[in-house]
Amino acid sequence: MEQRKLEVKHNGIGKVKNLSPDQKKLYDILLKLPRPPRDFNLTKDQKKWWSWFAKEFLSTKKMVQGDLIHLQNAAFSLDQRNKIIAL
C-alpha cells in the first residue's frame, strides 16, 4: 500500500494541506450552485429548499463541492419538517 505524505501548513483560517489536482477540484470554493445531482432524488419542494439554502451557504464564500451532501440533507429535512407541521 502506497503511503502519501501531506504537507500541512497553517494560515489565518486553519490548516492547509497540499492536495492533488483531483482533490483541489473538490475543495475549490463554489461561486455558483450546480443543479442537484440526479442521484439525490430531490422532489420539487426539496429543490426549492436546495436553492434557498444554497443562496445562504454561497454567501459565506466557504462552500465547496463536498458540502453539497449537507445541502441535500438540509433541503430534505426542512421539507419534511414543513410537511409535518402542515398536518
17-33 tens-digit pLDDT: 666 776 666 677 778 88
Q: Are 79 and 49 in contact (CB under 8 A)?
A: yes
pLDDT at 8 over 60: no
Give the pLDDT of residue 58: 86
Give the DSSP H/E element, type plus range, for residue 8. Answer: strand 8-10
Give the pLDDT of residue 17: 61
Give this prediction's pTM: 0.63
pLDDT at 66 over 80: yes
